[in-house]
Amino acid sequence: MSSSNGDITVKYPGGKSEKVSPGITVAELAAQISPNFLNQLIAAKVDGKPVDLAYKLARDVDVEFLKPDSEDGHEILLHSTAHLMAQAVKRLYPNTQVTIGPAIENGFYYDFDRDEPFTDDDLAAIEAEMQKIVEENIPVQRQEIPRNDAIELFRSMGENYKVEIISEIDEKETISAYRQGEFIDLCRGPHLPATGKAGAFKLLSVAGAYWRGDERNKMLSRIYGTAFPTKKELKKYLNMLEEAKRRDHRKLGKELDLFSFHDEAPANAFFHPKGTTVYNLIMDTVAQSNLRYGYQEVNTPLIMNVSLWHQSGHYDNYRENMYFTKVDDKDFAVKPMNCPGHLLIFKSTPRSYRDLPVRMSEFGRVHRHERSGVTHGLFRVRTFVQDDAHIFCTEDDIQKEVGLVLDQIFEIYRTFGFDNVHVELSTRPEKSIGSAEVWEKSEAALEAVLKDKAIEYKLNPGDGAFYGPKIDFHILDSLGRSWQCGTAQLDFSMPEQLGISYTGEDGQDHTPVMIHRAVVGSLERFMGILIEHYAASFPLWLAPIQVKLLPIADRHFDYTDQIASRLLKAGFRVEVNRKNEKIGQKVRQAELEKVPVMLIVGDKEIENQQVSVRRHKQGDAGAMSLDELLEQLLNEIREKAH
């Protein structure tokens, strides 16, 4: 589509355009602006498609130049660094087969097939070899190869995985490979123009991974790494990883005596007194809120006859994750979810439309047998308590009820210091039950709620549960990590399955809609998230020990005890440090324990009938009377200040 004089038109994102001769490469185009500009580029997008700098323009196109600090550019940088690593691996370990090596969020990986899997100790050598290849500054060249030639090429190199991949590529697609020196890899591209363009990189870990993620396939050896345009950015990322490690709830949980794990009950948390305090505070916060939002709390058995689980469908769909037991020769199951129990309660009495909506909540302990390799601290355990609830209502109530659920969820997240929440709406999956009409209606209802409340959300088409669409809530913690916690799911299936009904205005029986909802989800997991979010420096209202009293010398014990007992009576969680230590050491201990308020008591305080206040991480806050302090602290707690 070139113009009459043979030139083609190139349009840039800013709206500017120019005419150039066909056949010009992206690099040449950039060089016209300035050689220095070209030097900053690593690739480009032509008509929205990422291409190499060597890409030749043949017709009128939109061109966007890519630097490595853009999102698309960074992805290319990561991908090229993966190739760089593969080249280094092939140099060091020639009888290794390469498989795939994509860019991922925050990094890249490459899977290798090798008799001897890689260990952490190999990483340094591979990194050094990568650095050498960067210094060699080898040009990276794209080659388009006819299908059969490509198969022949990779077969002759003994790269059987590549051959397998090629044979699965769509007939219509062009097959391309990228060569850098002696290394050639099947790849769609684009890539950096030369290895010298690689930024700062680091190899992070090795892991096993199945070929194509399928556990029936061979286990390959995967190396993870990351790369950034500059050393500074790499360092920033590595610091963030260090910070995450420092905040790891498993580490802090042990250090601060919150909980422990034992071989006698793998992947099940034992909460110590301090951990139990935080755990109960989370539960109380939700329970209080539930009351305000019109929920009625219930309590259902842990173990129920297996027939119930046949009825609910859990036996067929969830059996692998359930615990079973035999009592009096009858088969029972330990509940993995609370819904069937709630349905039994609903069913236990005749219900009228006047009773709806029924909002039934339970802090229900569930047991799920997670596979041994997937458990992780408090984040993934085999028994946990859900702040579960089920709302039974009519189809017309859906919008209003879901609206209330949303309000409550946002309110509670704010209380815990999470202001940044992502919302996702998932719609009908391919495998689903229920009529198209009901699905449309309920999806529309959920969407209407979100629009009505002007909540931004991401749509996940086809990601809903088989029984209904859902809204998921992800909170962002202080390190910017995202955690899925709350959920609101519509369910048209289970009420019918268990035969629950209410009498309508028309005197007929109707099946109510059920909304499953959880705010914090798993209390265990939420506590883990909270620990990492606050780095265990909990706000006053959540801290397991709120006030630590630090007498200067033994003769101050009596006055200290008086203060302590007054604080206890006012409802505070208090400890006194009676060790034979200097005040500096007592302060240090209290700081390490992350106690929000330290009270130093000595001769001066006794004489003035005061306490000297020190706040965690802030330092000396001066002396004041106990009454003054109490007012301050009680106020802070009432507001649940962060």
Question: End-to-end distance of the chain based on CA atoms, in angstroms?
Answer: 62
Active site residue 369: no
From the CB of 421, what's the least distance to RNA, in Å? 21
Distance CA 114, CA 122 (A): 13
Among 27, 11, 77, which residue's Cα sits nearest to residue 225? 77
Q: Is 390 a catalytic residue?
A: yes
Please calculate the CA angle 378-383-384 and round it to the nearest 5 degrees: 65
Dihedral sign for Cα atoms in the order 301, 305, 311, 317: positive
CB count within 10 Å of CB 36 equals: 9
Q: Binding residue for RNA (CB under 7 A) from 30, 187, 494, 530?
A: 187
Judged by CB, which is closer to RNA: 362, or 605? 605
Query: CA quadruple 487, 492, 493, 497: dihedral positive or negative?
Result: positive
Q: Are the CB atoms for 200 and 230 separated by under 8 Å?
A: yes
Q: Which residues of 162-173 are buried (b: 16+ CB within 10 A; e: fewer)?
A: bbebbeeeeeee
Instruction: Name which of 390 and 594 has its Cβ closer to RNA.
Output: 594
Quickly count: other Cβ atoms within 10 Å of residue 24's Cβ.
18
Active site residue 263: no
Q: Provide the minimum distance between the beta carbon of 578 and RNA in the complex, in angstroms, as a whole number.
A: 10
Cα(95)–Cα(89) distance, integer angstroms: 10
* Structure token digits, residue 169: 């590529």
Binding segment for RNA (CB under 7 A), chosen from 420-428, 452-460, 505-513, 551-559, is: 551-559
| Site residues (CB under 7 A) for RNA, limited to 569-608 | 579-585, 587-588, 591-592, 598, 600, 602-605
- Contact positions with RNA (CB under 7 A) in 114-173: 117, 119-120, 165-166, 169, 173
Residue ranges in 493-522 that form contacts with RNA under rule CB under 7 A: none
Among residues 53, 123, 153, 267, the one that binds RNA under rule CB under 7 A? 267
Q: How far is the CB of 490 from RNA (least distance, A)?
A: 25
C-alpha span between 422 and 148 (Å, rounded): 47
Q: Round to whole Å and give the CA distance between 524 and 370.
A: 15
Region of 248-256, 408-416, 446-454, 470-478 interacting with RNA (CB under 7 A): 248-256
Q: How far is the CB of 18 from RNA (least distance, A)?
A: 31
The distance of closest approach from Cβ of residue 219 to RNA in the complex, given in angstroms and rounded to an integer, is: 4
Which one from 111, 122, 185, 388 is the annotated catalytic residue?
A: 388
Structure tokens of 383? 């028994």
Residue 174 CB, nearest approach to RNA (Å): 7
CA–CA gap between residue 235 and residue 115 (Å, rounded)? 34
The catalytic position among 90, 335, 470, 616 is: 470
Dist CA 342 CA 338 (whole Å): 7
Query: Within 605-634, which residues bind RNA (CB under 7 A)?
Result: 605, 612, 614, 617, 619-620, 623
| Candidate list 390, 525, 533, 586, residue with the active-site label | 390
Sole binder of RNA in the list 112, 259, 261, 309 (CB under 7 A): 261
CB nearer to RNA: pick between 420 and 585: 585
Interface with RNA (CB under 7 A), residue from 210, 318, 457, 466? 210
Binding of RNA at residue 175 (CB under 7 A)?
Answer: yes
Distance CA 54, CA 180 (A): 14
Structural tokens at position 74:
């960074």
Length of the chain: 642
Q: How far apart are CB 427 and RNA at their closest, in Å?
A: 19
Beta strand segments in 229-276, E: 259-261, 269-271
Give 323's strand partners.
334
Q: Which pair of structure tokens corresponds to residue 538? A: 């909990």
Total residues at interface with RNA (CB under 7 A):
75
Residue nearer to RNA on the CB measure, 224 or 363: 224
CA distance 75 to 71: 6
Nearer to RNA, 621 or 637 (CB): 621
Listed in order, strand segments (DSSP E) in 282-431 are 296-297, 303-305, 323-327, 330-334, 358-367, 383-393, 421-426
Residues 414-453 that bind RNA (CB under 7 A): none
Per CB under 7 A, the list member of 67, 179, 188, 272 interacting with RNA is 188
Nearer to RNA, 412 or 529 (CB): 529
Q: What is the DSSP string of 109-151?
A: EEEEE-SS---HHHHHHHHHHHHHHHHHT-BEEEEEE-HHHHH
- Give which of 364, 363, 381 is closest to 372, Cα–Cα: 381
Q: Footprint of RNA on residues 93-112 (CB under 7 A)?
A: 100-105
* List 25, 97, 131, 176, residue binding RNA (CB under 7 A): 176
Assess contact for 59 and 9: CB atoms under 8 A. Answer: no
**Tokens 């030369």 — which residue?**
194
Kindly tell me which of 250 and 642 has the beta carbon lying closer to RNA: 250
272 is catalytic: no
Region 216-245 residues binding RNA, contact defined as CB under 7 A: 219, 221-222, 224
Cβ proximity to RNA: between 62 and 591 the closer is 591
Report if residue 310 touches RNA, rule: CB under 7 A.
no
In the region spanning residues 351 to 410, those forming contacts with RNA, defined by CB under 7 A, are 371-377
Tokens standing for residue 91: 């140099």
- Residue type at 491 in one-letter notation: D
Least spacing, CB of residue 475 vs RNA, in Å: 18
Stretch that binds RNA, among 179-187, 287-295, 308-316, 505-513 (CB under 7 A): 179-187
Query: What's the CA gap between 406 and 388, in Å, rounded?
Result: 14
Which residue, 44 or 186, has its beta carbon nearer to RNA? 186
Q: How far is CA 84 from CA 141, 201, 250, 291, in A?
A: 13, 10, 35, 59
- Closer of 10 and 77 to RNA (Cβ): 77
Closer to RNA by Cβ: residue 10 or 175:
175
Q: Are 44 and 53 in contact (CB under 8 A)?
A: yes
Smallest separation (angstroms) from RNA to the CB of 411: 31
Dist. CA 524–CA 363, nearest whole Å: 12
Active site residue 339: yes
State the nearest-atom distance from the C-beta of 251 to RNA, in Å: 7
Q: Is 555 in the site for RNA (CB under 7 A)?
A: yes
Closest to 272 measured CA to CA, from 21, 496, 606, 527: 527
Q: Which lies closer to RNA via its Cβ, residue 215 or residue 506?
A: 215
Q: Shortest gap between Cβ of 210 and RNA (angstroms)?
A: 4
CA torsion sign, 304 to 307 to 313 to 318?
Answer: positive
Query: Is 386 labeled as catalytic in the residue annotation?
Result: yes
Residue 159 beta carbon to RNA: minimum distance, rounded to whole angstroms: 10
Catalytic residue among 382, 516, 525, 614: 516
- Told to judge if 510 belongs to the known catalytic residues of this protein, a careful annotator would answer no
Indicate which residue of 52, 187, 247, 339 is catalytic.
339
Return the residue of 72, 185, 387, 477 that touches RNA, per CB under 7 A: 185
Catalytic residues: 339, 368, 386, 388, 390, 470, 516
